[in-house]
Amino acid sequence: MKTLKIAIQKSGRLNEKSVELLKNCGLSFENYKSSLISSVSNFPLEILFLRDDDIPEYVQDGIADIGIVGENVIQETQVEVAYLQRLGFGKCKLKLAVPVDSSIKTVKDLEGKAIATSYPNILKNFLTKESINADIKMISGSVEIAPGLGLSDAIFDIVSTGGTLKNNGLKPFHDVISSEAILIGRKGEEDEELIQELIQRIQSVLRAKD
Ligand code: PRT
Ligand code: ZN
């Protein structure tokens, strides 16, 4: 491998911290909002700026060698990638929540109910494990308004502070997974020299923060 390619989020919650981490690793690169690809001048690395949802597949398919993405996205896309390093930012939980006055109090109460989410695969796996039959309503954003509109009885969504749930008259009642940003790579390529060099640098940045 002559030049490593890393995929990071183009804009959104993980972009700034991903760029900061790479800069703290001593890597020099231009970070224009308009560019989709940037070359590092002092390390054989190219940075691809992508939608977070596409990052696991780009890594699995070898378009990028490594990537930084939320664990929630990795699990939802159901790709086979190697977890190289947990990065300690972008922390959140995927929770089940209902309107504050709902009669749904436990996971068992979801039997036969409708649940709105942008994470249908993670939810389906969870419900199967719990032996619950529920109607999964896939929506791509603003999941929190679904119960108020009569689309669903419950929601399954990302929560960090809980402020958005509260503002929409919802309360969480069950945590399904915790998530944070992860450095991923292709299985079997973990020992590649350039990847190991970058992991070493990332680990010393993370250690300096503790
Ligand atoms: O454009 P692109 O597809 O790349 O980005 P995106 O809009 O899909 O994702 P983005 O940038 O919103 O989030 C990127 C990643 O950040 C997610 O996949 C998570 O891994 C992580 N993350 C951490 C979060 C949150 N915290 C978070 N709070 N992602 C979303 N949220 C949402 C949450 O769903 C709620 O609607 O932010 C809102 C505020 O949350 P509260 O609980 O603090 O009110
Ligand atoms: Zn996305």
Domain that holds residue 83: 4-90+180-209
Q: Is 38 near ligand 1, meaning CB less than 6 Å away? A: no
Shortest-distance atom of ligand 1 to CA 73 = 18
Distance CA 65, CA 184 (A): 9
Same domain, 17 and 27: yes
Which residues lie closer than 8 Å to 153 by C-beta, 6 or more apart? 98, 102, 104, 110, 113, 114, 115, 147
Same domain, 96 and 154: yes
Q: Is 164 near ligand 1, meaning CB less than 6 Å away? A: yes
The closest residue, in CA terms, to atom 21 on ligand 1 is 90
Model pTM?
0.96
We report the CATH number of the domain holding residue 24 as 3.40.190.10
Same domain, 114 and 85: no
Number of compact structural domains in the chain: 2
Q: What is the mean pLDDT of each run of 10 residues along the chain (210 residues)?
A: 94 97 97 88 97 97 97 97 98 98 98 98 98 98 97 98 98 98 97 97 94
DSSP H or E run through 43: none
Tens-place pLDDT, residues 51-72: 999 999 999 999 999 999 999 9
Q: Is 163 near ligand 1, meaning CB less than 6 Å away? A: yes
Mean pLDDT of the chain: 97
Same domain, 75 and 100: no
Q: Is 92 near ligand 1, meaning CB less than 6 Å away? A: yes
ipTM of the complex as predicted: 0.98
